[in-house]
Structure 1
Amino acid sequence: MTIDRAVLAFAGCMVLLSAALVYLVSPWFLLFTAFVGLNMLQSAFTGFCPAAMIFKGLGCRVGEAFR
């Protein structure tokens, strides 16, 4: 798995988790959803992604987006 796909899968899981938490626990978990979305947005413009650095450290292959 490349870093690109791992980051997309991780972000998707976090959005689904936050949606479940909003439904099951509290609407305040929308702040978590907003954090994930803002992190994805800033990553698109700056190329800096903490999750990509973690996946690189775990040994994922380098993809096209996060070099």
Structure 2
Amino acid sequence: MVIEKFMMLMVGTMVLLSAILAYVYTPAWLLLTGFIGLNLLISGLTGFCPMVYILRKFGLKHGCAFR
């Protein structure tokens, strides 16, 4: 699996999970959704993403996310 595909799966899962938790328990879980969105925005503007750095340390490679 390539970093780009893993990141899309991870971010999608975290956003859905935080939305479900906000609906079931407390709206405070929407702060997690906001944090994820902020990280995506910063990553898009600067090109730096801490999770990509960590995934590279685990041996994942960059590749094509779409075929």
The interval holding the TM-score normalised by the smaller chain is 0.7 to 0.9
Q: Give ranges in structure 1 of 5+ residues lacking alignment.
A: none
- Matched-pair identity in %: 45
Deviation of residue 63 (structure 1)?
A: 2.8
Aligned length: 65
* Structure 2 residue matching 1:59: 3-state secondary structure: coil
Q: Give ranges in structure 2 of 5+ residues lacking alignment.
A: none
| Residue in structure 1 matched with residue 57 of structure 2 by the alignment | 57
| Residue in structure 1 matched with residue 7 of structure 2 by the alignment | 7
Q: TM-score, normalised by structure 2?
A: 0.86
Q: TM-score, normalised by structure 1?
A: 0.86
Give the root-mean-square deviation of aligned CA atoms.
Answer: 1.6
Paired residue type of 1:21: L
